[in-house]
Each structure stands twice: as C-alpha cells, then as structure tokens.
Amino acid sequence: MSGDVAMRELGKQMPVPEFETTAFTTLTKPLSESTVAIVTSSALHRQGEQGFSPTDTGFKQIDRADRDLVLGHWSPNFDRSGFQLDLNVVYPIDRLEELSANGVIGEVASTHFAFAGNQPDTVSEIRLDTGPACAQQLLAAGVDVVVLTPV
C-alpha cells in the first residue's frame, strides 16, 4: 500500500471533532475587491525563527514578502520535495500576487498565518483559543477571504 493510500485509509478510522452546525459567512463584495489571506497547517515559519514544537497549538505570522520559509510539520507521512521545489505548491503566495495584479482578487493580505497540522485529537485549543485569536488578527488586517491549505 502506498504512503498516500495508507494515510487516507488511516484518515477514515480517525475520530474527528463534531460540529453540529456549519457557520457560513457570505462574501458581501466582489472577489476583485476582497483581501485574501492564506492560512496553512503545514507549520511554516521563517528561517531563523523558533519552529513549532511537536504539540504546538499556536500559530505564527508570515509577512506578505516572506519567502525564506521552513516546512516545520512534524509528520513524516507526506511528500516534502514539492515544497522544496516550489513553496507555492503548499503556500501559493506568488499565485495570489499574480491574481491581485490581474484584478481577479482585490488585495493580497499583508499577513498570513501558519498552524501545525499535528494537533491534539480534540483540537480544543484551536477551536476555543488560538483559532479565534487568529481570526481576530485576520479581521484586523482587513481580510475577507481565507484559503486554507494543508500538507
């Protein structure tokens, strides 16, 4: 069994947090006038910055201009060479810049954020603490749309 098949099979067995309802925010302005941010669970951080610990429930800020990024996720169960070849395959910041320049989206957010994908099973901290805190920072930065990328 290949690594990806094995991980996707494992995903079927994993208990996941339950959400009784799905919150839904409708975009109230055109995409071409909206500010877009990326939030990734790949544990990206800047070179030289303290990385994520194996049980880290926090998040790190990535500035729009940052490209010297490190892939800090603790799982050995995914391909890393794609990121090494082109960070946009995980964190499509250059694609957002192009879409903004072409008028497809309004602005690229000034700040983006990374979490670590390996979280406690309950994800209570993200649900109740660090997730809402990150949302407030995104709103404060004028973000309308968030693209969420895993690894």
Partner 1 sequence: MSTLAHVFEAAGLATIVLSSNLSVVERMNPPRVLHCEFPLGRPLGKPGDAEFQRDVLMRAFGLLDATEPVLETHPDTIESDETPMSCALPPRYDPNLPAAVDEAQGLRAAYDRAVAARGSTSVGRVLTADEIPGALGVLHQWAEGASWTETPLPGKNTIAVAHDIRTYYEEAGLELVDGPPPEGRAAEAWFHEQTEGGKTLMAARAALKEQEAPFPMWFYMAPGHR
Closest to partner 1 by CB, 27 or 63: 27
Q: Which residues contact 101 (CB under 8 A, 6 or more apart)?
A: none
Closest contact distance (angstroms) between CB of 48 and partner 1 is 9
Closest to partner 1 by CB, 60 or 83: 83
Closest contact distance (angstroms) between CB of 131 and partner 1 is 4
Closest contact distance (angstroms) between CB of 31 and partner 1 is 6
DSSP 70: E
Closest contact distance (angstroms) between CB of 107 and partner 1 is 14
Q: What share of the chain is helix, strand, coil (3-state, %, to 5)?
A: 30, 20, 50
DSSP 133-145: HHHHHHHHTT--E
DSSP 25-66: ----S-GGG-EEEEEESB-EEETTS----TT---EEEEETT-
Decide: 141 and 134 in contact? Cβ < 8 Å: no
